[in-house]
Amino acid sequence: MKILLMGNPNVGKSVVFSRLTGTNVIASNYPGTTVEYMRGTMKYGGEKVEVLDVPGVYSLEPISKAEEVAVKMLEEGDLIINVVDSTHLERNLYLTLQLLERKIPVIVALNLWDEAKHKGIKIDKEKLEKILGVPVVPTVAITGEGIKELVSRLPEAKPGNLRLSDEERWKKIGEIVGQVQRVYHRHHTFSEVLGEASVKPLTVYLLP
């Protein structure tokens, strides 16, 4: 069995991969290319399974070598963990919807969950799960938060049933974000207030 980690670049996918596989990993070039990906193993269903950290891509409509490799690797996978940046939900959902058009089980990891809270972004993960039709798990890969739940819910992963044109996909994304995401005014934390206070004397000193 092969579990694929897929997502946009810079969403913390490799950190999720490390949390799942530990240190026993191998870096490889995809056959016939110079595109590198990581391969490791984890326990799932009482046995060891292969986990592949697929190159980060924005779309499954390849315009680069990395995206070509991602599409090829997708054909070899048995289950997808789609790692999504919670602070940029709208941008990340394009790939998510494309994955839900494939006949392969998907589970979504809403990564950088703490950073979204810090920025005043609130995502109704239950509603998002209902809309997408697949499990959605908030994670903070750098601390390990949510990783155990992610693993425990892997058996719930399921294929999507979407068939959308590009225009319909963007419209769907707008509808989803409008239903599940709210952005609130966030009050400064105590440490931020202290940081600002330490700068002010210097600012005053520099004034003519």
Give the pLDDT confidence of 148-169 residue by residue, as tens digits. 999 999 999 999 988 888 899 9
**Other C-beta atoms lying within 10 Å of the C-beta of residue 77:** 20
Give all domains of the chain, ordered by start, each with its CATH number: 2-183 (3.40.50.300)
Instruction: Name the packing angle between helices 89-99 and 166-180 (round to 10°).
Output: 130
Distance CA 93, CA 172 (A): 9
Q: What is the C-alpha end-to-end distance of the chain, expressed in Å?
A: 69
Beta bridge partners of 50: 2, 41
The token pair that represents 141 in the structure block: 């890969």
Lowest mean pLDDT among 14-18, 43-47, 90-94, 171-175: 43-47
